[in-house]
Every structure is written in structure tokens, then in C-alpha cells.
Amino acid sequence: MKYLFSLVLTSLLINLSAQNAPDFTLTLSDGATKNLYTDYLNNGQTVVLKFFFTTCPPCQSITPTIENLYQEWGAGQHDLEFISLAIYSFDDNNDVNIFKENFGSTWPGAGNDGGSVEAAAPYIDGTFGTFIGTPSFAVIAPDGTMTWDPRGGNASATVDSLVLAIEQTGAQRPQSTVSISGNITLSDGTALSNVILQTGNGTTIPYNGNGFSLDALDAGSNITIMPVKNDNPLNGVTTFDMVLITQHILAITPLDDPYLLSAADVDNSGTVTTLDLVHIRRVILGINTTFPSGQSWKFDPPSVSLTNLTNAQDVNFVAIKVGDVNLSADPNL
């Protein structure tokens, strides 16, 4: 007898879980008329129903967390849509709009005058499982099958349960993107042009002094950015620079600006020595056509590596003309 009761109970639970979500049509708080199957499920979208009322404190407190989840899943433009259903007749569409504005909700919702109470009734009357209060959720797959009331002990745990139920419907989170922007200037803030930005993925981007932007980068990806500018090595470099560097070496007039010290260190040895003067003299005399590094400009930092991109990044570089310690180089050459 005990076995038979267990078998019957198991069969009943399977039948309940196999029931499809009942259809409904709503007039949303923005005035749009939507049907659960025609406008969402039949188009391949999973739908999360949130059952609430506007003066419910837990409904209010969880809304920003659910809004973050909504945005992460494409804000209704991809595989997932959220719909809030007010369960009491005292909440109309205007009340729903006020709630959305006050608590930062952007997903669709409906009040009693939009049909929410009627649409919510089969869910909160125990047909699909115990209704223990608001907020409660139902996750409906495109084929109409449903997971009733995934929840956790707090808002974060509830989101985790919702995500698991959403993923089980086959919905896929859209690939989010991030952007990187920045500027390249001289140490005094003057814009630099005719620069090439090299990235670790093999692409190059021209930079002409108006800022750069790398858009639509996949979230979680890695990228390296390295600026390169290689114009005439004698741009801004004269015997006067040699005089200034000599005065620094002799401690007569030290170069106390780190960018000027870097400019004077033409062989990138980490110190400014008479060997740097030799390299400059050989280029001025035409004996050599480049400085030891092969580059006429260097940058601080030389490159930037970003890993596991999750947010927009601002990346800036300071350009240093090799050998030019009196800042006479033409930044547009």
C-alpha cells in the first residue's frame, strides 16, 4: 500500500511538472498588447514571470538585482524576456509604471487593468506548486514547459536558481562586449598623430590625435595595445639636445623630468651616458639612419595588456621623442 501511494504521488508530480504554462494576453504598462505564446514563446524566447505587488518590500528590494540579471541576458532583445504580473487588483498599470521608475526596473509589467491578476491566477492558486508569497517566479521554456518558483535563501541565491532554470530551457546568454578608449599625447598634453596601435590579435589601428576607441570586444577576452610611431629620427633632434644632455651628464643642469631622461636615454640602457651622445652624433652625421632601438619614438607605458575584460577601459600613453630633450619635435610629422 505504501509503495502504491508513493507511485501515485510520483506520477502526480510528473504530470504537474509536465503541464504547459497557460496562455494569456496582457496590456502592458507601456500600452503594448502582448500574448505569451504568440509574441514570446513561439518566437523562441524563454519567459520569466515575476509575481509581485507594488508595496511588497521584498519585491522592491530584489528588483535591482533582477534588473542586473535582465540586462546581462540582453534586456529582452535575445533569448529571454521578463514580465512582472501584479497579483492584486489594487495595482493598475500606472502603479506598475511608478514602481518601475522608483526601483529601476526596465522589463515589461502589467497591472490589474492590463490583465495581470487573471494571468497570474493559475500560478498562485497552487496549480503548479505551493505559492509561498511574493516575489515568486516562473521560468517558461519556448515549448511551454515550466519551472515553478526557483528561489534561494537570499537575492543572490534566488538569481542563481533563476539562472539555472533559464539555462535549462536552452536560452543562451548574449555575448556581452566592452570597449577600450584613450589618447596619446606628449608630456605637455600636446596631441600626437600618425601613430599605429598594434594589438596582440594582429590588427593595427591608425591614431591621428583625436583619441582611439576599440569597440565590441568580447567580454572576458584579453588584448595587448602597443603604440608605434617611427618618423624621421632627427625630428626635433639637434646639436642643442647634445649640449643639454652633456650638461646633465656633467651635473651642470640635470634633467629632472623622467620623460626627458627617457628621451636622452637613446639606447634604452636605463641611464644617460656619453654613449647616448655617440648614438645621437652618428645619426646627425648620417653615419647611422636609426637609433639603437630602431624606433624614433618611445611610449610610457610601452604597451598595455588587459586580461579578462569586463568593463570599459580608459588607456592613455605619453609619447617621448627619442633624443629630443628640448621638446622641439613636430608631433604631426
Q: Last residue of some domain: 168, 203, 235? A: 168
Please give the Cα distance from 40 to 34 (Å, whole number): 8
Q: What mean pLDDT do residues 70-88 have?
A: 95
Asked, for residue 10, whether it belongs to a domain, the answer is: no
219 falls in which pLDDT band (50, 70, 90)? confident
Q: Exposure of 57 by Cβ count < 10 A (0-12 exposed, 13-18 middle, 19+ buried)? A: exposed
* The residue type at 298: K
Q: What mean pLDDT do residues 37-48 have?
A: 98
| 3 state SS of 195 | strand
Q: Last residue of some domain: 103, 137, 168? A: 168
Asked, for residue 333, whether it belongs to a domain, the answer is: no
Determine contact, residues 240/312, Cβ cutoff 8 Å: no
- pLDDT of amino acid 8: 35
**Residue with the three cell numbers 489594487:** 90
Please give the Cα distance from 54 to 49 (Å, whole number): 15
What is the chain's length?
A: 333
The helix (H) or strand (E) run that includes residue 5 is helix 2-18
One domain, residues 139 and 220: no
pLDDT, tens digit (0-9, with 9 covering 90-100), for 270-295: 999 999 999 999 999 999 999 998 99
Q: Report how far apart, in Å, the C-alpha atoms of 130 and of each of 54, 90, 136, 306 are.
A: 21, 23, 10, 48
19 falls in which pLDDT band (50, 70, 90)? confident
* The residue type at 328: S
Alpha-carbon dihedral angle through residues 316, 322, 328, 333, given to the nearest 10 degrees: -70
Determine contact, residues 309/176, Cβ cutoff 8 Å: no
In this predicted structure, the answer to whether residue 3 has a pLDDT above a threshold of 80 is no
Please give the Cα distance from 139 to 49 (Å, whole number): 6
- pLDDT of amino acid 15: 37
One domain, residues 127 and 240: no
One domain, residues 19 and 56: yes
280 or 218, which is more confident: 280
Asked, for residue 7, whether it belongs to a domain, the answer is: no
Q: What mean pLDDT do residues 241-266 have?
A: 97
The full DSSP string for 263-306 is HH-TT-SSS--HHHHHHHHHHHTTS-SS-TTS-SEEEESS-EEE
* Domain housing 66: 15-168
One domain, residues 105 and 137: yes
One domain, residues 269 and 187: yes
Q: Last residue of some domain: 141, 168, 195? A: 168
Asked, for residue 308, whether it belongs to a domain, the answer is: yes
One domain, residues 256 and 202: yes
220 falls in which pLDDT band (50, 70, 90)? confident
- pLDDT of amino acid 183: 95
49 falls in which pLDDT band (50, 70, 90)? very high
12 falls in which pLDDT band (50, 70, 90)? very low
How many domains are there within the chain?
2
- pLDDT of amino acid 214: 87
pTM: 0.55
* Residue ranges with strand state E in 38-79: 46-52
Asked, for residue 9, whether it belongs to a domain, the answer is: no
